[in-house]
Amino acid sequence: MRPGDIDTFSIERMTLQGEGVARPGGMALFIPECLPGERVKARVTQVKKNFARAELLEVLESSPQRVEPPCRVFPRCGGCQLQMMDYATQCHVKTEGVQDALRRLGRLENVPVGEIVGAANPWRYRNRVQMHLRREAGAPGKPLQMGYYRLSSHELVENDECPLLPETFPPVLKALRRHLPDIDPAGELPIRHVVLKTTTPPEGAGEMMLILVFSAWRSAWRKAVGELAKRLIGERLTVEGHTGENLARQRAGEQYNLVSLYVNVNEKGEGEVLGPDYPYHVSKPGKERLTDYLPGGLKIEVGPASFTQVNPRQTEILYQLTKEACGLTGRETVVDAYCGVGTISLFLARDCARVIGIEEVSMAVEDAQRNAERSGITNAEFLTGKVEDLLPSLLEREGVPDVIVLDPPRRGCHERVIEAIAQAGSSRIVYVSCDPASLARDAARLAAHGWQVKRVTPVDMFPQTGHTEAVCLLERGKSNGK
């Protein structure tokens, strides 16, 4: 098999990345957009020692689970991987993916993995979107490009009508596309990314926050950004704390509830979209932060740097599973590592004696503290710093907590976090995972220190994509390892 070869292949299984797997001559061949049981024609694009890749040319025999994707840019856009299969099959593939990761990557056998908890509506579920923006400086009239990167590339795929976004998002994105070239015709503002957030109130439409990510910042650009905010937000604005009565503008019939606009500065060319600094913002009075709603009647403040779950409908299920796994009776001390704005901490606080949250982002910790105060919760406290730096000393100072909740980023837990937990010896760990591979790795590390994986419950927080969330309960006992 060589690059350029065209042949027919039978697809045996799927990866969570939406790639079909064929095995010509025993070698794993990955072909995007293919379903198990299909026979396809494909062109080989890459051959390595242990695997190869190919591009799909034609589906010769299609699976009964194949459906017509509703998105006009699928699969060119890198946002979704699974739109070509019906939702029940997506759920089955994701459950198998979690099982496979635990067995193959974690070498954990006989782990009870439940069927994934699917979404009632697998569309229009996201409350946040990140889009990339591209303009040519010094090229008046050059159209603004805004969209997602194609998978494994920096090719920009434009899309204002993503079916995963709420219907309130496209008007804001289209207004930005229309007004920005008018305000900055020469393309001098180095805006590289756009982040849009919304809240999910019990009734009615949510409020929205727009974040423009600059690669550099000059105070001279405040005037242009302020003018853009007037056009997008309209009405009476607060510009860095000063209310201006003369900033009223009509929004030309645009129907959305954008209440604040922030400038973020990220001078790094790659990696995280958001940088550490927010030098300028414009908002309606009292709307510097959004008010969002959690299960159990809790309200939280969401700032520009705050991380919250992107699927509010599934978040309630995720948090309920987390609380059940904690086994709270009202007497426990809980440590919530990687707590963000304190959503899990506050959700658990009413059912335990004390909860201590740890979060690296200082702005998120400030939000968490305010959220506790406004909810009348007095048994939650929050510490600022990296979990790997604070957890060892916290466990030494406070003693062994009854439950440790781990909700790490996609890369999983730092090695020092695992070591600190191993030395402390808490009897119960609840691991909230957003990546089956890092869950498998960290669960294996904890199993090596004497914990047993009691159960794993996947939750489909991200329908149409290969991403899977899961709640994993570990208790002190016999290891699941081989």
**Residues that constitute the known binding site:** 309, 338, 359, 407
Distance separating alpha carbons of residues 197 and 14, to the nearest angstrom: 32
What letters, b where the CB count within 10 A reaches 16 and e where it falls short, cover 471-481?
Answer: bbbbbeeebbe
* Residues forming beta bridges with residue 260, ordered by sequence position: 209, 283
The pair of structure tokens assigned to 151 is 């998978």
In 10 A of CB 396, how many CB atoms? Answer: 12
* Nearest by Cα to 449 from 471, 475, 410, 470: 475
Give the three-class secondary structure for 170: helix
Q: Are 390 and 383 in contact (CB under 8 A)?
A: yes
Distance separating alpha carbons of residues 192 and 463, to the nearest angstrom: 27
* Residues forming beta bridges with residue 302, ordered by sequence position: 290
Count CA atoms closer than 13 A to 328's CA, side-chain side: 26
The pair of structure tokens assigned to 298 is 């809790």
434 is catalytic: yes
Terminal Cα-to-Cα distance of the chain (whole angstroms): 36
- The one-character DSSP state at 205 is P
Distance separating alpha carbons of residues 342 and 289, to the nearest angstrom: 15
* Nearest by Cα to 383 from 375, 90, 392, 374: 392
Catalytic residue among 71, 91, 352, 434: 434
Residue 357 one-letter amino acid:
G
Cite the annotated binding site for S-adenosyl-L-methionine by residue number.
Answer: 309, 338, 359, 407
Distance separating alpha carbons of residues 477 and 371, to the nearest angstrom: 37
DSSP string, 95-145: HHHHHHHHHHTS-B-S--BPPPB--S--SS--SEEEEEEE--TT-TTPPPE
Q: State the Cα torsion 228-233-235-239 to the nearest 10°.
A: -60
Q: Which residues are catalytic?
A: 434
